[in-house]
Structure 1
Amino acid sequence: MDNTSDSCLDVATTEKSGAEQPSASSESPVCEAENGSPAEKLLLSEATGSTIKDDEALRRARANADETIQSEKLQCDQEDSPGKAVQQDYHMPDVITVRVQRDSDSFQDVVVKIERPIYHKPFVGGFKNKITGVEFHNAGAQTIPKPRPDRGVQVFCRETQTVYERNKPQQTKNTTSTQMTKVGLYVSSVTDKLISPAKYLTAEEYHKRRLEAVIVLQTYFRRWHAVNVVRNLRELKGLRLAWEAQEELQRKKEKEEKLRREHERRLNPKTKEDFELLYHAVELWRQEETEQINRSLTGAERKAALCGLLDQEAQLIASIGRHKLHADEENQQKAILRFLDKCAQPKRWKAYDGKITEMDTQDILRARELFEIYCSISMNGIPKDERRDVLLTLRRTVKEHECKLTREIVELIDREVDLMSREVKECNLEGLRKRICTLFLQYTKIPEFNPEVARILKHQDLQYLVETIWGCQSALSVCNDLYDLVMVRWDKQHEWSPWNTILLTENEADAHLKLCSLEKAYEATFIDGIKDKHTQAKKYFAQFPAMASFLQRSDNQANANEFLIATVTNSSILGKTN
C-alpha cells in the first residue's frame, strides 16, 4: 500500500447480534478496512472520543445488541498530519437507546426505533438559524399526516378512470320516397319551388349584421324609454299645475272669506278689534274728507263744510259706541258661559285602542252644578214657579259656605221672592236679578267654592306682551296685521313662556319652527334684540308671586346647570394639563 499516506481509511461500523461475539485471543477488535488495508493501520474510538486500545475487547466498548459504534476517518500517514482525525458524516441509526431518569438516583434505558419518512417533508412553517443554517420545522411537519377514515366507498376504480367510445347508427321510422315524371307518368310541378344558392356570408359580415340589428333594437328601446320619461314628466307637470291652480283658488277663497269677514265686522262689530277697525276707518274717512274740503273750498264755505264733517263724525262715533255697548254685554255673557262650561267639561284622554275616555271628578260635578244654576237664573221670561224653584236651589247651594258674599246673595234671593209674592212687575225686578247673577258669578270664580276654576283662571297679560313688548308687529317682517300674527316658542327645545316666545306671521312661524340652529339662522344683532325683549318680559312677570317663585326655581336650576358644566370643563382641562 504505497498510497496510504495520501488517502483516508473508512472504518466500518460494527453491530452486535443477539449474543456477545467472542473476541480474539488477545481480545483486540477485529476490523477489516473497505480498501483492504491492514488492521494495524485502523484506529477505533468510542462515542465519548477516547480511543479503543488494541488489547481491549468490543465488550469494553459497550456495544449492545441494538447499539452501533461510530467510526472516524484517520489519516494513516502520521508523518504528514499525526493524530489528525476527519469525522465522518453522521447518519441517524434506526435504533437508539435513551436513558430516562425515573427517580433522583435511578435511571432506565429505553430503546427507541426511528421511522424514516418515505416522502419529502414540505416546509409548513418554522424558523432557520442564520448562523448554522439549520432549519427547524413546526411540530405538524415532524409527524406523519393523520390518515383519513375509510368511508367504505371505493373512490378510485377503473370504470371511473376509463372512457369508452361507442358508435351506434340510428334510423328514422318514417319512410320517404321521391317521384319524377317519366313515360307513362305525369307528376305536377305546381307546388315545386326553385332553390338557388345564396351569397356566402363571411364571419365579419355576419357580426356586422348582428351589430346593426342590435343598434336598431337599442334605438327602439331608447325611444320607448324616452316616451315613458316624457309621459311621466307630463303627468308630473299636470299634477303640479293642478296643485298650483288649487292653491291659487284656495288663496282666492281665503281672501274673499277674509274680505267677507272684514265687511261683516264693519257691519256687526262684536270684538274690541272690530271696533278699533271701525274707529280707524272713520279716521281715514275724516282725513280724506278734510283733504277734499281743503282742496275744493275756501273761506266760510270751508268752515261750514268742516262743521258738517265734524257733526257726521260725532254721529258715527256715537253709533259705534252704542253698538259697542250692546256687543260688550253680549260678549261678556258669552264669555261667562264659555268660562263656566269649560270648568264643567270632563277630563278626556285617548285609550290604547284609540277611543276617547271621559271622567267626571267631584270638582267637575260641582262646577257643572254651578253652571246649570247660573244658566237658570240668567234666563228671562220663565214662569214664576220655575223662577222661585231656581232661587231656592241657589239659596241652598250658597248656604253651604258662610261668608259675607253668600249672606248678601241669600238676602237678595229673599228680597226677590218677597217681591214676586207681591206681584211686582218683572221689568222692575231686572236690576235685582242682574245683581244676583253678578254676585253668583263672583261666587263661582272663587276656588274655595268652585275648585275646578283654579286651573282655568290665568293672567290676562298676553295683551301686554303683544302691545308693549313686541309692539304689535312681527319681529322679522315688521308686519302689523294682528290677524296674521302668532306667538311661538323662540327655542323649541324648551317650554313656552313669556321669556321664550317670539311674535311672527304664520308663514314665518312655520319656517322658524323648522330651524335646527338659531345662531346659524339669525344674526347676532337680531338675537341680542330678542333676548332684550325676553328680559323685559321676565322683569314684568316677576312682579307676580306665583311667577316669581317659578322664576326663582328656573334660575336656580339654570345656575346649577352652569356650575355643573363649568366643573366638568375645568376637570377636563386639568386632566389634559396633567
Structure 2
Amino acid sequence: MDNTSDSCLDVATTEKSGAEQPSASSESPVCEAENGSPAEKLLLSEATGSTIKDDEALRRARANADETIQSEKLQCDQEDSPGKAVQQDYHMPDVITVRVQRDSDSFQDVVVKIERPIYHKPFVGGFKNKITGVEFHNAGAQTIPKPRPDRGVQVFCRETQTVYERNKPQQTKNTTSTQMTKVGLYVSSVTDKLISPAKYLTAEEYHKRRLEAVIVLQTYFRRWHAVNVVRNLRELKGLRLAWEAQEELQRKKEKEEKLRREHERRLNPKTKEDFELLYHAVELWRQEETEQINRSLTGAERKAALCGLLDQEAQLIASIGRHKLHADEENQQKAILRFLDKCAQPKRWKAYDGKITEMDTQDILRARELFEIYCSISMNGIPKDERRDVLLTLRRTVKVPSSPLKLYKSISCCQSCKNHLASTEFPVPARSRTIGKCHLCCKLGNEARQRETFLKYRLMLENLRQSEADYQDDAKIVFSIQHQDLQYLVETIWGCQSALSVCNDLYDLVMVRWDKQHEWSPWNTILLTENEADAHLKLCSLEKAYEATFIDGIKDKHTQAKKYFAQFPAMASFLQRSDNQANANEFLIATVTNSSILGKTN
C-alpha cells in the first residue's frame, strides 16, 4: 500500500471460515457487521482512542497478512444523541477480513487475526475522562512486556551472586650480576669463600625436624603452664589452710568464751539460768562423790561419809540461796524499771518513706504516769511534805478494778503451792493437758530434786525460732513447743548427738528442717552441727546427697516423734494437716505416673 496514495480502507466483518463478502462502492468506505448495523452508524477508531474519519487516509497503517491491529466498534446514534459515539455490547470475532484498495479498480482482501489480552491489565497510573468515564492507562500498561532474550546463561541463581576468592602465589624475577676476571680487569679472590653443597634435605626429613621442634616448644610451654597451675593451686591451698586455721581459732575462741561465761556465771550468778548451772554442778559433784564413797567405803564408814557429803551439800545450797536472794533483789528492781519503761514507750511504726511515726495512747499515758509515781516513791532523802504528796497521788491513782470477775478467766490455781496466778505464770508444754505447777514451783522442784539445766535447750529453741521466722512462710509448730519438748527430742530421739558426725556438744548442735520446702516440726527435723546444718540447707535433692540407709534412719526417728507427739492435743491438728498434705502429694505423684504410663501405652 502506497503511503502517498489517498486510498480508502473498506472494512467488512467475516466469519472464522473466511468467506468472501460482496464488494462495495469505491466512492465511500463500506463497513458491514454481523449484527446488520448500517455503515453510517459505525466508526473506526485507532488504538489511541481517536476516531478515524471517513475521508482520512490510513497512511500509518500497513496491514499485511500477518499483522495484528486492534479496533473498537462504536455506533453513532444520530437520533438519540447526534454527534456522540455510543459503545454497544459487541463481541469481536477472532478473524476479520480487511479490504484494501490497491488501484482505482483493484482491491485486496487481508485476513487479520484479533489478539485478546490473556491477563488483566494492572493499573500502574493514568487518567480518567470525567465525561465518558473512560480510563486511560500509561504506556507501560498498554501492551504485554517483551520477554528478555535468552542469553543461554542462568543469571538468577546463587552461583552468579557468590564471590569466590583465589590465591595464587607468584615468584617475581630477581636480576643479579656477577663481576668476573677478564682481560683488562682484575678481581681479587682474597675474600672469596669456597661453598660446597650440603646434604640434601628431603621433605620427610624437613617435616620431621619441624615436628621435633614443635614437640620441644610444646614441652617447654606445658612445663610453664604446669608451673603456673601448681603455683595457683599452692596459693589457693595456702589461703584455704589460713582460712581453716582462722576458723579453727575462731571456734576455739568462741568455745573458750562460752566456758569463760559459764565459769563467770557460776562465780557471779545473776539470772535463773546461772543458778540452774550452779545447782546442776552441785548435783554432778554429789553424784561423783557418792559413786566414789560407794566404791571405796562400806558399813559405818560409808554412812559417815554420806552424812558428811550431805552436810557439804547443804552448805553449798545455803550459799547458793544467799547469792540468789541478793541477786533477786537486784533483778527485781531492774525488771520493774525495765517493764515500766517498756510500757511507757510510745508505739512506733515505719512509714513508706522510711520515717518513724510515734503515737501515745491512753494506756501509754497511764503507764507513763505510773512510771513517774514509782520513780518518785523509790527516791530516797526527799522531804516529808513531798513524800506525803507523792503518797496521796499514789492513793488517788491506784484503784481496784470495777469488775474483778473479769480477771477470773485468766487466773489459774497452782497444783503445788495452791496459789491463784495469771496464766502467764504457768509453763504450757505441748504434752500437757491441764494446768499443773507454776514456774516458781517447777524451779523449786528442779533445784531440790533433778537439778537439771535447761540453758542449752533454751538457746537451741531460740535459734530454731529465729531461723524459722527468717523463712517467712507462716511457721507455727515451732512456736507451740517449749524447751521441755525440745529436750525430749534431743535426748530421747536423737541421743544428744549429730546425725552425721556424732558430735555430742550441745552448744554446737542446732536443729534445722529435714525438708526445707516444709515448715519445721518434730517429724521434719534433723540434729546437726552448725557447719553441717549450713551445708544441709544448701542441698537441692536429699535422695542424691544421702544414702538410702541414712534416709531410712532419719525417717524412723521422724516416725518415733510422730507417735510421741500424737498423744498431745496441741499437736494433733498439725499432725492431721501434715498427713493430709502427704496423702495429697502421694496421690498427685501416683496420678502423674499413671498418666505418663497411659500416654506411653497409647
Indicate the residue corresponding to 2:517 in structure 1: 493
- How far off is 1:252 after superposition? 1.4
> C-alpha offsets along residues 271-300 of structure 1, whole Å, 9 cap, x if unaligned?
333323322322333344445555666666
Change (3 A) 1:362 1:521: farther
- Distance in 1 (alpha carbons) for counterparts of 2:175 and 2:456: 121
CA apart distance, 1:247: 1.8
Q: In terms of mean alpha carbon deviation, does 491-500 or 66-75 score higher?
A: 66-75
Is 1:521 equivalent to 2:545 in the alignment?
yes
Relative distance call for 1:238 and 1:342 in structure 2 (3 A) is farther
The whole-number CA distance in structure 2 between the counterparts of 1:255 and 1:418 is: 31
Is the contact between residue 265 and residue 274 of structure 1 (CA under 8 Å) also seen in structure 2?
yes
The SS at the match of 1:487 is: strand
Structure 2's unaligned 5+ residue stretches are 400-413, 445-453, 458-471
**Change in 2 beyond 3 A, CA 1:29/1:193:** same
Q: Take 1:349 and 1:204, find their aligned partners in 2: how far apart are those partners? A: 88
CA 1:387–1:182: 2 relative to 1, 3 Å: farther
Contact 1:350–1:357 (CA under 8 A) maintained in structure 2: yes
Instruction: Say if 1:313 and 1:83 are closer, same or farther in 2 by CA, change over 3 A.
Output: closer
Deviates more, 1:251-260 or 1:517-526: 517-526
Report the CA distance between 1:328 and its aligned residue.
Answer: 3.4
Q: State the SS of the aligned residue for 2:507.
A: helix
Which of 523, 526, 551 lines up with 2:575 in the alignment?
551
What's the offset of the Cα at 1:217?
Answer: 2.1
Contact 1:28 1:54 in 2 (8 A): yes
Pick 1 or 2: higher relative contact order, CA cutoff 8 A, min separation 6. Answer: 2
1:214 partner SS: helix
Shift of 1:32: 34
Structure 1 pair 190/503, CA: closer, same or farther in 2 (3 Å)? same
Q: Say which is worse superposed, 561-570 or 325-334, in terms of deviation.
A: 561-570
- Cα 1:228–1:40, aligned 2, differ >3 Å: closer, same or farther? same
1:74-106 superposed Cα distances (whole Å, 9 cap, x missing partner): 999999999999999999999999999999999
Structure 1 residues 322-331 or 511-520, which shifts more? 511-520
TM-aligned CA distance change 1:454 to 1:18, over 3 Å = closer
Distance 1:36 1:416 in 2: 126
With 249-258 and 117-126 compared, the bigger mean Cα shift is at: 117-126
Give percent identity, aligned residues only.
94
Mean Cα displacement is larger for which, 541-550 or 39-48?
A: 39-48
**More divergent stretch after superposition (122-131 vs 19-28):** 122-131
Mapped to 1, the partners of 2:60 and 2:428 lie a distance apart of: 154
How do 1:164-313 residues align onto structure 2 when only pairs under 5 Å count? 197-293=197-293, 303-313=303-313
* Alignment partner, residue 461 of structure 2: none
* Residues 496 and 52 of structure 1: CA distance in aligned 2, closer, same or farther (over 3 Å): closer
1:469–1:536 contact (8 Å) kept in structure 2: yes
- Partner Cα distance (1:411, 1:35) in 2: 125
Q: How many Å apart are 1:319 and its aligned residue?
A: 0.6
Measured at CA, do residues 415 and 451 of structure 1 come closer, stay the same or move farther in structure 2, by a change above 3 Å?
closer
CA contact (8 A) 1:96 1:112 kept: yes
1:311-368 deviation per Cα after TM superposition (whole angstroms, max 9, x unaligned) = 2221111111222233334344444444455555666677788888877777666656
Match of 2:476 among 449, 452, 455: 452
SS at match of 2:159: helix
Change in 2 beyond 3 A, CA 1:453/1:261: same
Bigger shift: residues 475-484 or 365-374:
475-484
Would the alpha carbon gap of residues 317 and 555 (structure 1) be closer, same or farther in structure 2, given more than 3 Å must change? same
CA distance in 2, matches of 1:108, 1:6: 16
**What do the CA deviations read for 1:25-56 (whole angstroms, capped 9, x no partner)?**
99999999999999999999999999999999
1:562 and 1:456, CA in 2 relative to 1: closer, same or farther beyond 3 A? closer
Moved more, 37-46 or 521-530: 37-46
Deviation by residue 1:381-422 (Cα, 9 ceiling, x = unmatched)? 6777876676677667657xxx99999999999999999999
Q: 1:406 to 1:145 in 2, by over 3 A?
A: farther
CA 1:205/1:137 → structure 2, altered by over 3 Å: closer, same or farther?
A: farther
Q: Distance in 2 between matches of 1:420 and 1:248?
A: 40
Looking at structure 2, the residues matched to 545 and 106 of structure 1 have their Cα atoms a distance apart, in angstroms, of: 133
Q: Which moved more, 1:90-99 or 1:342-351?
A: 90-99
Separation in 2 of the partners of 1:488 and 1:42? 110
1:421 corresponds in structure 2 to: 432
Query: For each residue in 1:107-131, what CA deviation from the matched residue of structure 2 results, as whole angstroms up to 9, or x when unmatched?
Result: 9999998999999999999999999
d(CA) in 2 for partners of 1:389, 1:425: 44
Residue 574 and residue 424 in structure 1: after superposition, are their counterparts in 2 closer, same or farther (change >3 A)? closer
TM-score for the superposition, normalised by structure 2? 0.44
Instruction: Confirm or deny: 8 A CA contact 2:15 2:95 kept in the other structure.
Output: no
Backbone CA RMSD of aligned residues: 17.9
Residue 484 of structure 1: CA displacement? Answer: 4.9
8 Å CA contact retained: 1:487, 1:501: yes
Cα 1:556/1:116, change in 2 over 3 Å: closer
8 Å Cα contact 2:94/2:115 also seen in 1: yes
Q: Quote the Cα distance in structure 1 between the aligned partners of 2:366 and 2:319.
A: 42
Count of aligned pairs between the two proteins: 564
* Conserved? CA contact 1:8–1:73, under 8 Å: no
